[in-house]
C-alpha cells in the first residue's frame, strides 16, 4: 500500500486537437477581450474620479 497522500501518476493527454484549438480560440478569445475591456473601463473611471480638477468657482 502506498504512503498516505501519494497517488499514482496521471497519464499525460496529447496536445490540443483541431477541435480543441477551435473551442479554445472561439470561447477564450472573447473571454479575455471582455476582461480587457472591463479593466480598461475601470481604469478610465478610476482616473476620472481621482484626477484633481482646477476649477475656478
Answer whether residue 1 shows pLDDT above 70: no
Tell me what the mean pLDDT of segment 45-53 comes to: 85
Higher pLDDT, 10 or 2: 10
> CA distances (Å), 55 to each of 11, 35, 47, 52, in order?
66, 35, 17, 9
Q: What is the pLDDT of residue 56?
A: 67
pTM of the model: 0.51
Amino acid at each position: 500500500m502506498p504512503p498516505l497522500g501519494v497517488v499514482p501518476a496521471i497519464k499525460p493527454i496529447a496536445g490540443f486537437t483541431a477541435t480543441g484549438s477551435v473551442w479554445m480560440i472561439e470561447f477564450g478569445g472573447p473571454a479575455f477581450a471582455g476582461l480587457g475591456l472591463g479593466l480598461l473601463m475601470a481604469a478610465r473611471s478610476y482616473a476620472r474620479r481621482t484626477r484633481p480638477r482646477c476649477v475656478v468657482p
